[in-house]
Chains A and B, each alone.
Chain A
């Protein structure tokens, strides 16, 4: 019952996804019941009341009050969906009280046509950024090397690594136009609005299987992806990033193995350049 849509939907790897999916299934059941009911009635009356069988129409038509019951039923079901599911779910996912303790906080910054990922590093503080310091491949976020907090920050492009079973807060923003950060497998989608930094909260309930981890997944096309869901220009169709959910220990060691982005004065290597890495728009 609850998963009749599952055959068309992507895998669900998030803690809130099951609730979202079952609500979606419930809504579709309501739609299906109404549609099938209407359709059966419709086909019946088209057959029963065709002019050749019913040469003279009945002036009064239907005297039944059935429609009032249908309309009343729709009101009740919609009220239940709204009050019982939709509003509480949104409150829980988007504006939770209390806010998760000890979430992993990571910044994701969209640009035409790539996702920049920014970890605060060991100190847990994001270094200052300045749009005037942005430089193509070497400093895509405009991190300020003069800020000590930036010295242990980790920056990558189109590569997001996350721990399992730990609340995650993605601080989402964009450098240029509106993008939409969409993780189909995580049931997460949030517009990135220029001038704003919007927290996106979710938690992974399973790790990425090896076949869905780069580079193995690229050929099989089974990767866990960051998709752009909002038209953002000519490269919208290829604004595709990847993410991997690790066991907590594996995540910590991955984090420890990364070179900090700002290590002045020597030029910093890009941590994981991928074949999919997008050039900034020409």
Chain B
């Protein structure tokens, strides 16, 4: 076990001279993990809203194909939407950028960059991340990456339009927006790599005295495994991104076979490459990426559930081991995204088997969270509502992975709306609900004020209803065999006719979901200045960020005095103790 007796030199250096820092150093090029966490949070929330808006435009087109988009339709440009009517080219741009933005600019930065950065050092009693400058560099790779993605909408031909998966050769022959996409991705990947190294070192080296691995809050375990996934899975995609860039810019043929005929013209390229190589490299990242999206969410939900059930998490150890196992397994399931690329029985058997195996640790974690509710004293706080709603909806996301993970049933469902429903249940009603839980939960730590509960409920209930209204019908539409990424939502196809009416239903639900975010936005900004003031541990929590640090934590160093840890993370309702919570840092016999 690594024990930190004194703060690292970096923090000590700052603690020695309390000179006021200029604004730009404090808030722009900050090296304080809390400020960087907030920079990540606000940037990522902006991108989540932006990415969602792209989908709102698409949902308009799907509900009423070819009808002009009201009000903003005229602002989209003649090249994209002449007369306000969305062109298929523009629809494909929106689709590709929705996926890219939500995953790489929204959820990962929010889950890891924001929550990880802000909470992990506090939960392990550290004064900051191990490498504050690396942390700053990570944000400042992310931010330009995001700007490049946004700017790509304005280049000739518009943004990337080959799906967030960017399969060649479609992507190699695409308009120059794809080049911008690749450059942007290289920035974003670099950002994640810098961040992941920092988390791993921080969690291994900066845990406070007494904080053994089995006393870590589950959220920290989740972030640790996530960081390993980012560190090991992203480099292959970075390499692949550079290869694709070379294919586009220098006319190499990493991913282009010989003899392609594009629009009747033989493509001038060396040839001899393989489009499947890209798919392998892409999914070698993108499957672990699914767990990058979900593990921090499970971490947040575990924190909120332990706190609001007022009892220890049930099966904490099995959850930790399941998470580590999940991390390992996530590297050997990637080709289940590729069953229909011409895969033989041997390979498909291997990937089906690993896919079934990886479902087991997910079941273990989810079951442990469900059973944690047994014998609880459940407080239905706003964060708890979101955390509870996460459980069944993530469950749906996980269960619907089964028919997709078995290759014979995947034949009919592959690339249909069933797939969209499946992974959105994992990352939208799943991860994004967990993110909201985390925001409501840690807001008092950041500001010393609570977010409004009435607005919180006004946010929760409509969001819960509308989000299911969007994604539940997708399973029906998918069973009917309607393909994804169709500009007219399948209007042309005979087999889509029986389920076409759901397009309108899903779109109206999506518009409803957008409106349901208004109470959240009001609540977020209003509560910063006007929220109800609370003490440093309003949820009566046991973990260090609440029990040992003031709210907000002190500028450099977080803690007034360095805490020590005496027990596990969730000692709630300990028999014989007068309070129903026993903080980790309270001296006394091991609880």
Contact = CB atoms under 8 A, between A and B. Distances in A.
B481 A9 contact: yes
B363 A49 contact: no
Interface stretch (A56-64, A143-151, A153-161, A257-265): A56-64
Interface in A202-238: 212, 217, 221-225, 227-238
B92 A231 contact: yes
B70 interface: no
A10 B373 CA distance: 41
A178 B342 CA distance: 12
A46 B372 contact: no
A200 to B, nearest CB: 9
Contacts of B580: 56-57
B173 interface: yes
A191 B487 contact: no
A193 B275 contact: yes
Interface string B359-392: 1100110011011111111111000000010011
A117 B392 CA distance: 47
B479 interface: yes
Nearest to B267: A176
A9 to B, nearest CB: 5
Of the listed residues B399, B488, B574, the one surrounded by the most CB atoms of chain A closer than 10 A to its CB is B399
Contacts, number: 300
B376 A49 contact: yes
Contacts of B484: 229, 231
Contacts of A24: 403, 409, 412-413
Given A95-B344, A231-B92, A236-B485, A58 B311 contact: yes
A182 B274 contact: no
A59 B311 contact: yes
A281 B371 contact: no
A187 interface: yes
Contact of B170 (A54, A55, A231): A231
Interface string B248-268: 000000001111111110100
Contact count band on A: 35 or more
Interface string A46-90: 100111001111111110000100110011001101100111011
Contact count band on B: 35 or more
Interface in A146-189: 175-178, 180, 182, 184-185, 187-189
Contacts of A28: 403
B312 interface: yes
Interface stretch (A30-38, A118-126, A266-274): A30-38
B402 A30 contact: yes
Nearest to B499: A8
A59 to B, nearest CB: 5
B476 A8 contact: yes
B495 interface: yes
A28 B589 CA distance: 50
B212 interface: no
Contacts of B497: 221
A278 B539 CA distance: 63
A45 B575 contact: no
Given A57-B310, A57-B311, A184 B411 contact: no
A254 interface: no
Contacts of B368: 67
A8 B479 contact: yes
Given A27-B406, A49-B376, A78-B402, 9 more contacts: A27-B403, A46-B388, A49-B374, A51-B378, A61-B314, A78-B359, A86-B409, A87-B352, A112-B262
11 contacts: A58-B376, A61-B374, A61-B375, A81-B402, A89-B408, A90-B345, A90-B352, A91-B345, A94-B345, A221-B494, A240-B492
| 10 closest Cβ pairs, A-B complex | A195-B257, A58-B375, A184-B481, A57-B311, A62-B374, A177-B170, A57-B377, A57-B310, A31-B399, A237-B486
Interface of B: 87-89, 92, 95, 161-163, 167, 169-170, 173, 256-264, 266, 274-276, 309-312, 314-315, 340-345, 348-349, 352-353, 356, 359-360, 363-364, 367-368, 370-380, 388, 391-392, 395-396, 399-400, 402-403, 406-409, 411-416, 476, 479-481, 483-488, 490, 492-495, 497-499, 572-575, 580
